[in-house]
Structure 1
Amino acid sequence: MVSLADVRAWNPGALDEVCSGVQAKVPVLTNEGDDYGKLLPVEGWSGPAAEGAAAQHKSHMQGLDTYVAGAAAIGKAVGQAADAILAVQAAIKNADELARKYGFAITADGAIVCVYGGDPPPELHPQDRARAQQQLADDVAQILRTAEDIDSDLAAVLDKAAAGQFGTGDESTVAAAAADGLKAPGMTFPEPPPNATPAQNAAWWATLPASARDALVRDRPSVIGAMDGLPAVDRDKANRVVLDRDYADLRRQRDDLQHRMDGLKMSDPQQQNEHHDLQVRLDALNDKISSLDAVHDTLAKGNRQLLFLDSTHPRVEAAIAVGDVDKAANVAVFTPGFTTTVNGDLAQYDTNMDDMKRMADRIDFRHGGGPTAAVTWIGYQAPQWSEIANPDQSVLGPHAAQAGGESLAKFYNGIGAGHEASNTPLHLTALGHSYGSSTTGYALGHDTPVQDAMLFGSPGQGAEHLKVPQGHLFAAQDAGDTLVPNYGNTGVLGPSPYFSPDASNYHQMSTDASVTEAGPLNATEGHSGYLDAQSTSMYNMAAITTGHPDLAQYKGTVLAEGPR
């Protein structure tokens, strides 16, 4: 078994030297071997001596073929192993830095131990620290898993080469034998653990060299693009491949359906029924194609990352960020609600998030806090008018919000795990509107790295208890928003952020016109105005997202911060 101490001591530089030496010898062997291969047969030489020489020559060539094929395979595998070790040792370095950040140390045998004799400093929140400890445990487990794989793979290549098992020994030239050796698989890499958490996904990805990551993005874009915990830049690359592939596939399906419909006789009642059924399918395909058009057009604005794309559901799901999620110190994730679709709403919501990011950047310029990225997350099947009688999808029930909340919690945790894996500071804010606030609340019923949450136009907060630090829940209700219930008790979508006893946990935000250092800000009204540009409501979101709630405008008394 490979130990963490072993991996720390591995010297990839030595392997690079071996790789260079072997790779330099292979062309020499190839050239000399092919010259030797041309010595026989000699024209005009026959008889027993010629036959004996030919047999000996053939035996030498077969041995030389397998030797050169093995040398080529070794050169390739040793070079791959050196790159793989560098990636694993970089993952160890990142894990060491994460451990120091949260007051832990990683022992020689891979245990995670607390460095404090007493209680940790108060700024290290217990829940954040527990999450970091789990991330470290996942990191170490994956580092050892990958290291063991590197060690066994390289040993297998060396053993196979020693046994002369590379190449066939019957290649037409030594050059062909060397090419066969290079075609050998060489190093492989372990899969992530089954049913991996976002933290485990992040740990797995961190141990892979760039060449392996690139190959996975190229060969398995659907899998990589959907994996919470991977860097946004890699998910974006993979999902753009998926976007192009799905677009072509949906257009092909649409053309096939249209061709079938064009061949039907509308005078035949049976074919009329078939035409109707095909038309329903065609309309659904056109909606999906329209959704992918919306995704494409949004990405074309620039400075966007496609963090999620799924065309397999009745309606396309997608998540697009404005800004660089990996490098942003502040990330806001906005979840919309009832009637939301990608083709109908992504463009406008992306514009809203762009407006919010610009305001956040202005706050950062004046007060600090770091760069911001803002995500529009339409990663669930938001209820539609046509589904109001469907108990599993109705806006009048919690089921769609609960299902969406499960996915949203993983998305939050994926962003957190990605930042932890790269030791990039993160202030994560959840924004939820209308039924999307209920979805957000159900997500926040799970353990996530969300530090602030703002629910606006909310029919109910979702889960009974939101796992957000005390004093970091915010709510906004516009004048004239008649879709916000005014009852005081818990409804089917959870307690009201405004009127129930649970409302005392929320800062009630102003949406009136105001004048701040950002200049005059407009009031917002009704159920759909909260994201209006240059509004008090939008300014409040930007202030909270950047970690400056003191700059926001409130309706009532600001609650003191306290323990979770």
Structure 2
Amino acid sequence: MQRRRLKRLMIGAFATCAVLADAGAAAAQAAAANEQVAITTPPAGSAAWAQDHSLGRALPDPATADSATVAAFFASLSPAQQDQLVREYPLVVGNLDGAPLQLRYRANRIAIQNEIAQAEAQSTDAKLDAAQRATATARVNDSRPLLNPGRQILAFDPRSRGLVAEVFGDLATAKRIAVVVPGSDSDLGHHDKSDHPLQGAAGMARAVRAEEQRLAPDTSTALIAWTDYVSPVGLGPDAVTSRLAVAAAPRLLRLLDGLQQTTAPAAPPALICHSYGTVVCGEAAPRLRGETTDLVVLGSPGMNVDSAAGLGTAVHVWATRNPADWIGNVPYLEVGGLGHGADPTSPDFGAEDISSAGAVGHAGYFDPGTTSLYNFAAIALGDYQDVKY
């Protein structure tokens, strides 16, 4: 009983603080929010894949195989064998970290086409109610733009609210790579928002890459918009716990592990983490190994550690929050698994506190001309001497 009461108080604190800054919109979100089911299992088709011996050998287990094993397996196949797996198991190949990039792009294109065909049939199915048909129509509308020429979909999973990871630039040749990890309300429908592009991961990634190209036009860069985990909806119960972040961290680590096999940048990919995405990055950071990874946190509710030292020795932490960001009014504490701990921008945390001058509000960090966007690009490029404080 005491724990449930505390949970309600914490949720109320989040919502009330947001209301003070957002004229009540967050309250409606909080009231309507539902707890989400995390995705921790391989995509559809994995069971059949595991039992397939048509190539005369076992296929790597999507649930347990590391990226080196996956990369070696695909390298041993003929082009015809690779094509066979892409056609028969597009969701598996498209989400298999360590598989060749171009195969994943092709596989996910097939998976998206299949999802659209299924959703179109459901949208006109008289046996379904109006709400179900409307949901199917929305899925068609959200998925179809991913098939536009030039789109490079690194991951696609139609389960839950829809998961997607998209590449901007040439991952295979990029010398600097960065991954944008978005926060709450991130899903297929919000990945690439035409009405508010800089509030979706795709728009954020495009903005950073454009700034990189402005600052260093001769440097080959790539950005990954990583809408590939089940995020909280609104400011409900999931936003004040780390349950979804704990489930998401292994997915992020597998992505980074796969990039070690399929890319050759000059430094580990930088992580640019926004809002609840900083909680995800905080869960993943202590398990990073090797060269130092730049970890940029913005608009953070906390990272479940007392200081940057708790994130391990393999990350360099940069943090920012603009004065108009309502997240600064959220209690920075953790009690019984509720809340996310210390403020990463506080002097005692130990992160490098960088400027976000010009950014306004929780979603303003990627706006053109802001110092925050400039800093994200400078850090991702490794031009640390140009970072503004």
Identify the TM-score tier after normalising by the shorter chain: 0.7 to 0.9
Q: Distance in 1 between matches of 2:383 and 2:313?
A: 17
- Secondary structure, counterpart of 1:374 in structure 2: strand
If asked which structure has higher relative contact order (CA below 8 Å, sep 6+), I would say 2
Q: 1:524 aligns with which of 319, 341, 359?
A: 359
Counterparts in 2 of 1:434 and 1:424: CA distance versus 1, 3 Å: closer
Once the two structures are TM-superposed, the CA of residue 410 in structure 1 deviates from its matched residue by 1.3
2:327 alignment counterpart: 483
Q: Distance in 1 between matches of 2:155 and 2:312?
A: 24
Could you say which structure has the higher helix fraction?
A: 1
Q: Distance in 1 between matches of 2:172 and 2:267?
A: 9
Once the two structures are TM-superposed, the CA of residue 354 in structure 1 deviates from its matched residue by 1.8
Q: Distance in 1 between matches of 2:368 and 2:144?
A: 25
Q: Distance in 2 between matches of 1:379 and 1:220?
A: 19
Q: Is the 2:333–2:340 Cα contact (8 Å) retained in structure 1?
A: no
Deviations 1:266-289 (A, max 9, x none): xxxxxxxxxxxx334334323322
Q: Is the 1:442–1:462 Cα contact (8 Å) retained in structure 2?
A: yes
Once the two structures are TM-superposed, the CA of residue 207 in structure 1 deviates from its matched residue by 2.5
Q: 2:74 aligns with which of 205, 211, 214?
A: 205
Q: Kindly report which structure 2 residues correspond to 1:169-318, keeping only aligned pairs within 5 A, or say none.
A: 188-192=56-60, 195-256=64-125, 259-260=126-127, 278-296=129-147, 299-300=148-149, 302=150, 304-313=151-160, 315-318=161-164
- Secondary structure, counterpart of 2:192 in structure 1: helix
Once the two structures are TM-superposed, the CA of residue 488 in structure 1 deviates from its matched residue by 6.0
Q: 1:547 aligns with which of 377, 382, 388?
A: 382
Once the two structures are TM-superposed, the CA of residue 544 in structure 1 deviates from its matched residue by 0.7
Q: Is the 1:341–1:382 Cα contact (8 Å) retained in structure 2?
A: yes
Q: Distance in 1 between matches of 2:73 and 2:305?
A: 31
Once the two structures are TM-superposed, the CA of residue 245 in structure 1 deviates from its matched residue by 0.9
Q: Kindly report which structure 2 residues correspond to 1:340-359, keeping only aligned pairs within 5 A, or say none.
A: 340-347=186-193, 348=197, 349=200, 350-359=202-211
Q: 1:434 aligns with which of 275, 285, 289?
A: 275
Deviations 1:352-393 (A, max 9, x none): 32221122123333xx6x4111111111121113x82xx5xx
Counterparts in 2 of 1:424 and 1:431: CA distance versus 1, 3 Å: closer
Q: Distance in 1 between matches of 2:171 and 2:286?
A: 23
1:445 alignment counterpart: 286
Q: Distance in 2 between matches of 1:235 and 1:371?
A: 21
Q: Distance in 2 between matches of 1:441 and 1:240?
A: 32
Deviations 1:400-422 (A, max 9, x none): 12212221121122112323xxx
Q: Distance in 2 between matches of 1:473 and 1:210?
A: 42
Deviations 1:121-155 (A, max 9, x none): xxxxxxxxxxxxxxxxxxxxxxxxxxxxxxxxxxx
1:380 alignment counterpart: 229
Q: Distance in 2 between matches of 1:500 and 1:205?
A: 48
Give RMSD over aligned pairs: 2.6
Letter matched to residue 407 of structure 1: R
Q: Distance in 2 between matches of 1:468 and 1:452?
A: 11
**1:460 correspondence with 2:302:** yes
Q: Is the 1:336–1:432 Cα contact (8 Å) retained in structure 2?
A: yes
1:474 alignment counterpart: 318
Q: Distance in 1 between matches of 2:143 and 2:330?
A: 38
Once the two structures are TM-superposed, the CA of residue 240 in structure 1 deviates from its matched residue by 0.4
Letter matched to residue 531 of structure 1: F
Counterparts in 2 of 1:362 and 1:550: CA distance versus 1, 3 Å: same
Q: 2:220 aligns with which of 371, 375, 386?
A: 371
Letter matched to residue 339 of structure 1: D
Counterparts in 2 of 1:213 and 1:189: CA distance versus 1, 3 Å: farther
Once the two structures are TM-superposed, the CA of residue 430 in structure 1 deviates from its matched residue by 0.5
Q: Is the 2:286–2:314 Cα contact (8 Å) retained in structure 1?
A: no
- Secondary structure, counterpart of 1:319 in structure 2: strand
Letter matched to residue 509 of structure 1: I
- State the identity %: 25
Q: 1:509 aligns with which of 336, 341, 354?
A: 354
2:342 alignment counterpart: 495
Q: Is the 1:453–1:468 Cα contact (8 Å) retained in structure 2?
A: no
**Structure 1: gaps spanning 5 or more residues:** 1-184, 262-277, 513-522, 555-564
Which has the larger Rg?
Answer: 1
Please report the TM-score for the alignment, with normalisation by the length of structure 1. 0.53
- Secondary structure, counterpart of 1:312 in structure 2: coil
Instruction: Tell me the matched-pair count.
Output: 323
Q: Distance in 2 between matches of 1:473 and 1:358?
A: 23
Q: Distance in 1 between matches of 2:64 and 2:246?
A: 20
Counterparts in 2 of 1:445 and 1:253: CA distance versus 1, 3 Å: farther
Q: Distance in 1 between matches of 2:101 and 2:271?
A: 18
Q: Distance in 2 between matches of 1:210 and 1:378?
A: 30
Once the two structures are TM-superposed, the CA of residue 343 in structure 1 deviates from its matched residue by 1.7
Once the two structures are TM-superposed, the CA of residue 191 in structure 1 deviates from its matched residue by 1.7
- Secondary structure, counterpart of 2:286 in structure 1: coil
Please report the TM-score for the alignment, with normalisation by the length of structure 2. 0.76
Counterparts in 2 of 1:253 and 1:208: CA distance versus 1, 3 Å: same
- Secondary structure, counterpart of 1:430 in structure 2: strand
1:163 alignment counterpart: none
Counterparts in 2 of 1:218 and 1:527: CA distance versus 1, 3 Å: same
- Secondary structure, counterpart of 1:478 in structure 2: coil
2:171 alignment counterpart: 325
Letter matched to residue 278 of structure 2: S
Q: Distance in 2 between matches of 1:488 and 1:463?
A: 11
Q: Is the 2:124–2:133 Cα contact (8 Å) retained in structure 1?
A: no
Q: Is the 2:123–2:134 Cα contact (8 Å) retained in structure 1?
A: no
Q: Distance in 1 between matches of 2:157 and 2:275?
A: 23
Once the two structures are TM-superposed, the CA of residue 425 in structure 1 deviates from its matched residue by 4.3
**1:409 correspondence with 2:253:** yes
Counterparts in 2 of 1:228 and 1:495: CA distance versus 1, 3 Å: farther
Q: Is the 1:434–1:457 Cα contact (8 Å) retained in structure 2?
A: yes
Q: Is the 1:352–1:533 Cα contact (8 Å) retained in structure 2?
A: no
Q: Distance in 1 between matches of 2:319 and 2:229?
A: 22
